[in-house]
Structure 1
């Protein structure tokens, strides 16, 4: 039998080794890759982890132990009744609201609860609100140009001329959002749907890994809605998308997994047909 004193010494030694490893961890993943501090680690193929997130406002629980994971490259739709916590969830992810408890990680190592809103945007999370925010007096091309120059990773001033590679990049995004034929048109003259696409393009100029999109097709025509679905499905894979939406036809067109929120937590999850057939979802949301 090993003496108790030796056991305690061994425990102390192991504890010291573990602490040393934590202090000197070089960011190596299990497969041998090395991640710099702040670099997105997707070695487990999951881009967003929310675990037991709780947020209260004046005694009202907007989020109640919410747990959710989003895979890298996934296109996820979030639905639910008003007051279900959808906006608060996005506020937590982007750093606008601090949770009372719980954890929120971007990849394996980036703790979102410790970062400011600008730091989270810089890390690779872009958010689009329902109402488009664009520079209406500038052309579509200039809006994308300004978005690129506002990216702190691009060490150029707002008054510097674009180099050829940057022009090519702006042109590529214009084609992607189907505004290449409106590149020189003032943004204020674009249709509502085109303004929405332009703001999405402005986010894409900053190369986000995760896009949060709040009711992106509200107010769009049927044709614009269809084109938006095509755009989002084309972005999935290279980007991860979380789409908050009430338009069930649009959700169906996107395909993929649907998460239903109710009273601040996940009520149901699965493909659209599965959640639409769930009696709980019918009672609190679809049946209204």
Structure 2
């Protein structure tokens, strides 16, 4: 790592972010180097749509195993940020790296997913006419080529993996239940379980508790806390009570850049955050 002075702050940059190091080397998906402790690095990301700056020199670091909450008013750039990370949107400028060497701006969406970034949208998407077990089996990280898929047989190791994830998302007693019969919260957990079957290193979760009951929200917080450390999680959320349950660092976005960062109490007390977000 290289430490670069910027004003009165010290910013930690990976080796490839040093201008003297030249262009970052393209690597194959799956070769994610997190030896230096940072799994996601965004620097000066800019995205414009018809003259509107959705992201304005956004810089953000996510550590390995970290659970980070992203908050901010509508239009702050939260969704666009996730679109850049997953390859759905190409930035006009800036750097986006997964680990030390994987340049996200050069990869397509399937390649980024294969590299180990999983994304969950607000509305759950599950196979409603299949059981919970079958949904997780379909999502399993396997060779998806036609011949391999036709002759795929679930072995004891794969079965055990599905059982473990079902228990983790608290749906082990619903293994043979059709996904369409689950509650809204249970469908959310199932989709998270489907992401976990892909063995992601980084999970992006967009408003995961929207529409949940209080009990489901509490269970979701417990699930995320159990995943932190094993995975890195970036949670975009408006529910401040849920964010408080998760603890950890909170990043506030406003007009496409970071407005404030710290624990929830400190950002809630920040006059700028109160003015543009919490005070509304």
CA displacement 1:115-166 (0-9 Å, x = unmatched): 000000000000000000100000000000000166659x941663311110
Instruction: Give the paired residue count.
Output: 258
State how far apart, in whole Å, the 1-side matches of 2:170 and 2:268 are: 32
Structure 1 partner of 2:188: 196
Structure 2 partner of 1:260: 252
CA displacement 1:222-273 (0-9 Å, x = unmatched): 0000000000000000100000000000000000000000000000000000
Q: Which residue among 75, 79, 88 is the counterpart of 2:67?
A: 75
TM-score by length of 2: 0.88
Q: Which residue among 138, 145, 162 is the counterpart of 1:146?
A: 138
CA displacement 1:189-246 (0-9 Å, x = unmatched): 0000000000000000000000000000000000000000000000000100000000
CA drift of 1:22 comes to: 8.9
State how far apart, in whole Å, the 2-side matches of 1:244 and 1:150 are: 29
- Calculate the aligned-residue CA RMSD, in Å: 2.1
Q: 1:125 touches 1:208 (CA, 8 Å); kept in 2?
A: yes
State how far apart, in whole Å, the 2-side matches of 1:231 and 1:151 are: 28
What residue ranges of structure 2 are gaps of 5+ in the alignment? 1-20
TM-score by length of 1: 0.86
State which drifts further: 51-60 or 160-169: 160-169
Q: 1:148 to 1:37 in 2, by over 3 A?
A: closer
Q: 2:46 touches 2:92 (CA, 8 Å); kept in 1?
A: yes
| Paired residues for 1:122-137 under 5 Å | 122-137=114-129
Moved over 6 A (4+): none
Structure 2 partner of 1:248: 240
What residue ranges of structure 1 are gaps of 5+ in the alignment? 1-20, 28-34
More strand by percentage? 2
State how far apart, in whole Å, the 1-side matches of 2:144 and 2:107 are: 16
Q: Which residue among 210, 214, 220 is the counterpart of 1:222?
A: 214
CA drift of 1:187 comes to: 0.1
Q: Does residue 279 of structure 2 align to residue 287 of structure 1? A: yes
